[in-house]
Amino acid sequence: MTTPHTPRGALIAIEGLDRAGKSTQCDLLLKRLNSSGIPATLQKFPDRTTAIGTTINSYLTSTSHLDDQSIHLLFSANRWERRDSLLSTLTSGTTILLDRYIYSGIVFTAAKPKSPVQPPNPLSIQWCKAPDIGLPRPDIIIFLNITQEDAEKRAGFGDERYEKKEMQEKVRRLFEELRGEGSNDKGDWWVIDAGGTVEEVAEEVWKGVLEGLRRVKEGNGEVRSIE
Ligand code: FDM
Ligand code: MG
């Protein structure tokens, strides 16, 4: 007789530019999943609650300086320190919503101005992705797409380090590049128009979630790795 086993949870990443509504949508989604009887939890990155997260927080709020490579590796380490708990949560049957993940990690570093003292193009997409290889790979990446105009209509930026217009424009282009032709995870992306009302966007997000859950059901039960 075979022992019945709990099907694993889905790993669902929510990505997008600042002000696309990621955190609002994650909160709504968490409630909707739980009230639909689907156990789910939220993991935000950067996770500012850990020792590494505290260092990241002081960097983002500009109370400390770090070179671009070091802070990049700390963002990645902040995901690695959560790896075991992500995997055990999934195995226990709980779905995880990631509010940002490696994709923000790649594009925000790659969007930085190149330093004249560094070797040529050290912060390419390839360089930026390397430390995240081997982390759990999302079953679906829901990308909240918002136009520059819509982004500008929403409430103003805060004063954290990356909340600048030029940076956001580069981030937008790099996200496009990341999900574009030739990427090895093209099929993982689920792009939605995040320019509508909170309720309209939530409906589109929900469709992406159902697709993510479907992929898990049809898969072999294993969590894939970033490659
Ligand atoms: N960010 C986020 C990075 O630069 N690298 C990363 O790996 C991650 C996860 O941190 F500007 C950037 C993106 C954003 C900043 O994010 C803080 P929140 O979502 O505002 O906390
Ligand atoms: Mg922010």
Question: What tokens does 61 get?
Answer: 């709020």
Would the pTM count as exceeding 0.75?
A: yes
Is residue 1 in a domain? no
Contacting residues for 174 by C-beta, under 8 A, at least 6 apart: 106, 107, 110, 111, 125
Atom 8 in ligand 1: residue holding the nearest Cα: 105
Best of 47, 50, 66, 104 for a ligand 1 pocket test (most atoms within 8 Å of beta carbon): 104
Which bound ligand lies closest to the C-alpha atom of 171?
A: 1
Question: Does 2 have pLDDT greater than 60?
Answer: no
Atom of ligand 1 nearest to the CA of 162: 11
What's the gap in Å between 47 CA and the centre of ligand 2? 12
Q: Is the pLDDT of residue 6 over 60?
A: yes
Instruction: State in Å: Cα 197 to ligand 2 middle.
Output: 20
Residue 9 lies in a domain: no
Ligand 1 contacts (CB < 6 A) are 45-46, 60, 75, 100, 104-105, 108, 162
Q: In this structure, is residue 6 part of a structural domain?
A: no
For residue 141, is it within any domain? Answer: yes
Of all protein residues, whose CA lies closest to atom 14 belonging to ligand 1?
162
- 98, 12 in Cβ contact below 8 A? yes
Res. 153: pLDDT tops 90? no
- What is the domain extent for residue 107? 14-218
Q: How many residues does the chain have?
A: 227
CB 207 within 8 A of CB 30: no
Contact indicator for 208, 10 with CB cutoff of 8 Å: no
Site of tokens 């940076």: 167
Of the listed ligands, the closest to the CA of 164 is 1
Sequence-separated (6 or more) residues with CB below 8 Å from residue 7: 93, 216, 217, 221
31 in any annotated domain: yes
Q: Are 29 and 202 in contact (CB under 8 A)?
A: yes
Average pLDDT of the chain, as a whole number: 93
Domain count, the chain: 1
Q: What is the DSSP string of 128-192?
A: HHGGGTTSBPPSEEEEEE--HHHHHHSSPP-SSTT-SHHHHHHHHHHHHHHHSTT-TTGGGEEEE
pLDDT at res. 151: 80
For residue 37, give the CATH number of its domain. Answer: 3.40.50.300
Residue 103: inside a domain, yes or no? yes
**Of all protein residues, whose CA lies closest to atom 10 belonging to ligand 1?**
46
Nearest atom in ligand 1 to 161's CA: 11
The per-residue pLDDT for range 51-106, each reduced to its tens digit, is 999 999 999 998 889 999 999 999 999 999 999 999 999 999 999 999 999 999 99
187 falls within a domain: yes
DSSP percent split of the chain into helix, strand, coil, nearest 5: 50, 15, 40
Q: Does 225 reside within a domain?
A: no
